[in-house]
Structure 1
Amino acid sequence: MPLSFHLPPNARILITGASGYLGQALVKALALCAPSAWQWVLTDTQCIEGTHSGANARWVVGDLSNASVGDALFEQPVHAVVHLAGVMSGRAEQDVKLGERVNLKASLDLLARCRDQYRRGGPLVRWLMTSSIAVYGTPLPNRIDDGTPLRPSLSYGTHKRMLELMLDDMNRRGDLDGRAVRLSGVVMRPALPNGALSGFNSDLIREPLSGKNYVCPVSPDARIWLLSLSAATAHLLRLLGMDRATWAQTMGPAATCALNAPTWPVTVHEVLQAMARIDPRAPQRVQFDPQPDLEAQFGAWPLDVSFALAQQLALTDERETFQYDLSAFIRHLAQPVILT
Structure 2
Amino acid sequence: MHVVITGANGFVGQGLIKRLLENGQIGQQTITRLTLLDRQFDEALSKEAPVAETGAITVEKYPGDLADSAWLWDTLSGSTIDVVFHLASIPGGMAEQNESLARHVNIDATMTLLDIAKAQTKNGQGKPVFVFASSIAVFGKMPDLVSDDTPLKPQLSYGAHKIVGEVMINDFSRRGWVDGRSLRLAGVLARPPAETGQLSAFLSDIIRELSQGHDFVCPMSPQAKTWASSLANIIDNLIHGAVVEESKIQDQRTLTLPTLCFSMAELVEAIGSVYQQPTDERIRYEVNPMIEELFGRFPALETPAADAAGFKHDGELKNLVKRALC
CA distance in 2, matches of 1:12, 1:178: 16
Helix, strand or coil for the counterpart of 1:56? strand
Report the Cα distance in structure 2 between the residues aligned to 1:146 and 1:214, rounded to whole angstroms.
Answer: 36
Is the Cα–Cα contact under 8 Å of residues 185 and 199 in structure 1 kept in the other structure?
A: no
Q: Within 1, Cα distance between the matches of 2:277 and 2:60?
A: 48
Counterpart in 2 of 1:142? 144
2:153 is the counterpart of 1:151: yes
Whether contact under 8 Å (2:257, 2:306) holds in the other structure is yes
Does residue 279 of structure 1 match 2:281? no
Tell me, yes or no, if the aligned pair for 1:235 and 1:315 is still in contact at 8 Å.
yes
Structure 2 match to 1:3? none
Equivalent of 2:38, from 37, 44, 50? 44
Deviates more, 1:12-21 or 1:239-248: 239-248
CA distance 1:130–1:51, shift in 2 (3 Å): farther
Structure 2 residue identity aligned to 1:44 = D
Equivalent of 1:24 in 14, 35, 45:
14
Q: 1:327 aligns with which of 306, 318, 322?
A: 318
Which amino acid in structure 1 is aligned with residue 261 of structure 2? P
The one-letter code matched in structure 2 to 1:43 is L
User: 1:226 & 1:154 partners in 2: Cα distance?
Assistant: 19
**72 and 192 in structure 1: CA distance in 2 versus 1, 3 angstrom threshold:** same
TM-score by length of 2: 0.90
Over aligned residue pairs, what C-alpha RMSD do you find? 1.7
Q: Give the superposition deviation at 1:158.
A: 0.5
Out of 130, 133, 139, the residue aligned to residue 133 of structure 2 is 130
Higher strand share: 2
Contact 2:210/2:277 (<8 A) preserved = no
Structure 2 CA distance for partners of 1:184 and 1:52, relative to 1, 3 Å = farther
CA offset digits 1:98-148 (Å, max 9, x no partner): 11111111111111111122223222121001100000002x211111111
Distance 1:12 1:141, change over 3 A: same
Distance 1:185 1:234 in 2: 15
CA distance in structure 1 between the aligned counterparts of 2:133 and 2:47, rounded to whole angstroms: 24
SS of the aligned residue for 2:154 comes to coil
Residue 285 of structure 1 and its aligned partner are, at CA, apart by: 1.8
Q: Secondary structure at the match of 2:62?
A: strand
Question: How far apart, in 1, do the equivalents of 2:46 and 2:111 lie?
Answer: 27
2 CA distance for matches of 1:52 and 1:227?
29
Name structure 1 gaps, 5 residues minimum.
Answer: 1-10
Is contact 1:201–1:224 with CA below 8 Å preserved after alignment? no
- Which is further off, 239-248 or 151-160? 239-248
- How far apart are the structure 2 equivalents of 1:327 and 1:173? 43
* Structure 2 CA distance for aligned equivalents of residues 327 and 230 of structure 1: 14
Relative distance call for 1:165 and 1:50 in structure 2 (3 A) is same
CA distance in 2, matches of 1:109, 1:61: 17
Give the number of equivalent residue pairs: 312
Quote the Cα distance in structure 1 between the aligned partners of 2:15 and 2:39.
17
The two structures have a TM-score, normalised by structure 1, of 0.87
Alpha-carbon distance, 1:37 to partner: 4.9
- The residue matched to 2:201 in structure 1 has which SS? helix
Matches of 1:295 and 1:174, distance apart in 2:
42
Cα distance in 1 between the residues matched to 2:234 and 2:62:
24
Deviation at 1:36, TM superposition (A): 4.1
> Is structure 2 residue 2 aligned with structure 1 residue 12?
yes
Partner of residue 109, structure 1: 112
Unpaired runs of at least 5, structure 2: 49-56
Structure 1 residues 99, 29: closer, same or farther in 2, change over 3 A?
same
Superimposed CA distance per residue, residues 156-175 of structure 1 (whole angstroms, 9 cap, x where no aligned partner):
11110110011111122222
Structure 2 matches for 1:1-340, cutoff 5 A? 11-33=1-23, 34=25, 35-51=29-45, 53-54=47-48, 56-66=58-68, 67-138=70-141, 140-248=142-250, 252=251, 255=252, 257-277=253-273, 278-302=275-299, 304-319=300-315, 324=316, 326-334=317-325
> What one-letter code is carried by the residue in structure 1 that aligns with 2:103?
E
Once the two structures are superposed, residues 52-91 of structure 1 have per-residue CA deviations (whole angstroms, 9 ceiling, x without a partner) of: 5315121111111122243112221222211001111110
Which whole-Å CA distance do the structure 1 matches of 2:307 and 2:102 have between them? Answer: 32
- CA–CA distance in 2 between the matches of 1:46 and 1:246? 36
